[in-house]
């Protein structure tokens, strides 16, 4: 057990490390990302047989195939807790098949109604068990505080994942006034004794820059260790412990499609993913590497189309780009961190090439890959982007034609799948959020309003929950996930708003740790 070790994409870690350490460290010292030395292979029969197991056991099988340094019992417990009654369906991630052989993999049946739950119900448990293992081996002294900067979805999913996990506490920062009413209430009503939430004066970039400055402050780390025996860590999607759970649902989805009779065993499918940080689509790539019959990966962007342009040209260029506001804010991203792992794989793990490109990205705000890498990327990926109005139009069209209501992120994926699909090749689309997380724009879509239009007076006055009830009534939808529909009834616990500079964040972290110590 645990023979498969982790190397880093920039070659700074000389001796490969075990899974437990890769999870607790998150990021390699030189800024590189961890990947397993061996990608395990499964046969199509082994993959299809997974359909006979409950989802938790499917996930445990796949994690086990990665030969990580946790026991089968530990994996069974982690996945049993992660994928249980906290999801609103025992299928965990069911597939709804639409016309034209487009199959929607619904990844939003978890506690916070976004696909981040699929990974963030596992990561905290990996983290807690891994930290305990390292402590038992005498390799770790401190407990951890997770610090998260969020534009909305990640913060809530991380709070829910880390809530009441042993030996870990969590603080989440979101831009004050920059998240929806639903997203604010989801975070501000969070239960748990080890959690806190701060609004930050500024935008998401301010939150993220503030968090980064605090993470990179060696003196502060030393003082946290001295005063509290606490180390800071992050829960973002560069952690391999978030990626591996995402690989599992693509492998599982193939088995589900075969079991449902939607495809023949062995038929190749395309997978289309609405993409931001490149974590979700990268997981589909690794599922393909493991032997899942996936033909091509369809990368769907919103108006922040840096990835689509990269896949089409081989040049990643953010020097002239500005951030565009879209109805799919979780994909509003310029630097897609997980692309680094994909490039590492495409160059057959050439850490020097990666170090060079990432250096160019930092210093020159862009890089260009060599011809060989570009050619390999073009064999795997095709990409397209969807503008804001087309996104809203897609929500309306698919609802009118098929009675299926999508959130704006999923609509971007659906539209690209529809455009790029080839006859006879089934497409699996990653459906990444429940529509009720983004009720404002879903209302606009269904009422043929544009993104710039104000909601009509009476509607604008409604809380997020009341607006969702109105949409559901009008659309003839019988239920909204409990976690979203009950928000107006829960007490607001967190209302503190802080400045976004590193001093203010450091002070807030210390005040929270003081309170935790009492
Ligand atoms: C995070 C998120 C995405 C983007 O996923 P990446 O792994 O960052 O590419 C898409 N849709 C929703 C709803 C999300 O929350």
Give the Å distance between the CA of 133 and the centre of ligand 1. 31
pLDDT at 260: 97
Whole-angstrom distance, CA of residue 498 vs CA of residue 483: 27
Q: How far is the CA of 15 from the centre of ligand 1 (A)?
A: 32
Q: What residue ranges line ligand 1, CB within 6 angstroms?
A: 114-116, 153, 237, 274-280, 330-331, 409, 432-433
Smallest CA separation from ligand 1 atom 2, residue: 330
**pTM: predicted TM-score of the whole model, two decimal places:** 0.96
Query: Minimal CA–CA distance to 277: which of 184, 372, 153?
Result: 153
Q: Please name which of 464, 499, 484, 437 lies closest in space to residue 199, comparing C-alpha atoms.
A: 499
Judge contact between 6 and 16, C-beta under 8 A: yes
Residue ranges of alpha helices (H) inside 292-385 are 306-313, 339-346, 351-364, 371-380
In this structure, what token pair is assigned to residue 470? 């109105």
Tokens representing 360 are 């160019």
**Tokens encoding 66:** 């990665």
Measuring CA to CA, how many Å separate 223 from each of 140, 194, 510? 17, 20, 10
CA of 274 to the centre of ligand 1 (A): 7
User: Looking at the predicted structure, is the pLDDT value of residue 205 above 80?
Assistant: no
| CA 437 – ligand 1 centroid, Å | 13
Q: Which atom of ligand 1 is nearest to the CA of 410?
A: 11
Q: Tell me, what DSSP letter sits at residue 15? A: S
**pLDDT value at position 318?**
92
Ligand 1 atom index nearest CA of 278: 9
CA atoms of 91 and 50, how far apart (whole Å): 13
Q: Does residue 367 sit in helix, strand or coil?
A: strand
d(CA 287, CA 260): 20
> For position 501, what pLDDT does the model report?
92
Beta bridge partners of 300: 274, 384
3-state secondary structure of 506: helix
d(CA 59, CA 73): 13
- 234 compared with 507, residue with greater pLDDT: 507
209 C-alpha to center of ligand 1: Å?
Answer: 20
Counts of helices then strands in the chain (DSSP H, E) = 23, 15
Q: Which residues of 334-366 are buried (b: 16+ CB within 10 A; e: fewer)?
A: eebbbbbbbbbbbbeebbebbbebbeebeeeeb
Distance CA 127, CA 133 (A): 10
Residue with tokens 């990580």: 68
Query: In 10 A of CB 49, how many CB atoms?
Result: 15
Which pLDDT belongs to residue 203?
82
Strands 168-175 and 195-201: parallel
Between the CA of 229 and the centroid of ligand 1 the distance, in Å, is: 34
Atom of ligand 1 nearest to the CA of 283: 7
pLDDT, average across residues 198-215: 87
Atom of ligand 1 nearest to the CA of 333: 8
What mean pLDDT value characterizes the chain? Answer: 95
Q: Specify the pLDDT at position 173.
A: 95
pLDDT tens, position by position, 338-368: 999 999 999 999 999 999 999 999 999 999 9
pLDDT over threshold 80, residue 152: no
Testing ligand 1's pocket by substitution, the residue of 327, 331, 434 carrying the most ligand atoms inside 8 A of its CB is 331
Residue 206: predicted pLDDT: 83
Instruction: Among 112, 152, 276, name the best residue to mutate to test ligand 1's pocket (greatest count of ligand atoms within 8 A of Cβ).
Output: 276
Q: Is the pLDDT of residue 100 over 90?
A: no
Q: Express each pLDDT in 456-511 by its tens digit.
A: 999 999 999 999 999 999 999 998 999 999 999 999 999 999 999 999 999 999 99
373 CA from centroid of ligand 1 (Å): 25
């Amino acid at each position: 057990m645990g023979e498969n070790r982790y190397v880093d994409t920039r070659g700074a870690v000389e001796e490969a490390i075990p899974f437990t350490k890769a999870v607790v460290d998150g990021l390699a010292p030189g800024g590189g990302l961890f990947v397993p030395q061996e990608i395990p292979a499964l046969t199509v029969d082994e993959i299809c047989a997974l359909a006979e197991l409950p989802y938790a056991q499917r996930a445990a099988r796949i994690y086990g195939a990665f030969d990580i340094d946790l026991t089968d019992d530990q994996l069974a417990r982690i996945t049993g807790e992660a994928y249980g009654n906290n999801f609103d369906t025992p299928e965990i991630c069911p597939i709804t098949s639409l016309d034209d052989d487009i199959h929607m993999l619904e990844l939003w049946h978890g506690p916070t109604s976004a696909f981040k739950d699929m990974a963030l119900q596992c990561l905290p448990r990996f983290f807690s068990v891994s930290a305990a293992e390292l402590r038992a081996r005498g390799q770790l002294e401190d407990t951890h505080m997770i610090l998260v900067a969020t534009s909305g979805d990640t913060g809530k999913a991380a709070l829910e994942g880390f809530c009441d996990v042993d030996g870990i506490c969590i603080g989440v920062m979101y831009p004050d006034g920059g998240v929806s009413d639903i997203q604010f209430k989801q975070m501000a009503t969070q239960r748990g004794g080890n959690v806190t939430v701060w609004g930050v004066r500024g935008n998401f970039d301010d939150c993220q820059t503030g968090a980064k400055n605090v993470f990179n402050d060696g003196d502060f780390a030393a003082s946290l260790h001295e005063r509290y025996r606490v180390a800071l860590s992050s829960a973002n999607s560069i952690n391999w412990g978030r990626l591996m759970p995402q690989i599992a649902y693509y492998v599982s989805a193939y088995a589900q499609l075969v079991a449902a009779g939607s495809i023949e065993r062995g038929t190749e499918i395309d997978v289309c993913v609405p993409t931001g940080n490149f974590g979700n689509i990268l997981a589909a790539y690794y599922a393909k590497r493991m032997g899942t019959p996936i033909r091509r990966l369809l990368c769907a962007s919103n108006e922040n189309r840096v990835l689509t342009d990269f896949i089409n040209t081989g040049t990643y260029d953010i020097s002239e780009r500005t951030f565009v506001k879209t109805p799919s804010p979780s994909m509003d991203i310029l630097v897609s961190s997980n692309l680094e792992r994909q490039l590492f794989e495409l160059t057959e793990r050439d850490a020097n090439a990666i170090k060079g490109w990432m250096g160019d990205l930092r210093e020159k705000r862009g890089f260009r890959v060599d011809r060989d890498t570009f050619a390999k990327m073009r064999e795997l990926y095709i990409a397209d982007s969807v503008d804001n109005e087309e996104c809203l139009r897609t929500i309306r069209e698919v609802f009118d034609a098929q009675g299926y209501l999508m959130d704006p992120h999923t609509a971007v994926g659906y539209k690209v799948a529809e455009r790029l699909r080839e006859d006879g090749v089934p497409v699996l689309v990653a459906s990444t959020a429940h529509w009720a997380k983004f009720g404002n724009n879903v209302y606009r879509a269904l009422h043929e309003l544009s993104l710039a239009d104000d909601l009509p007076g009476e509607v604008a006055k409604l809380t997020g929950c009341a607006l969702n009830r109105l949409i559901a009534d009008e659309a003839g939808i019988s239920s909204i996930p409990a976690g979203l529909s009950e928000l107006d009834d829960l007490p607001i616990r967190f209302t503190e708003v802080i400045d976004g500079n590193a001093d203010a964040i450091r002070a807030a972290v210390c005040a929270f740790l003081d309170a935790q110590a009492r």
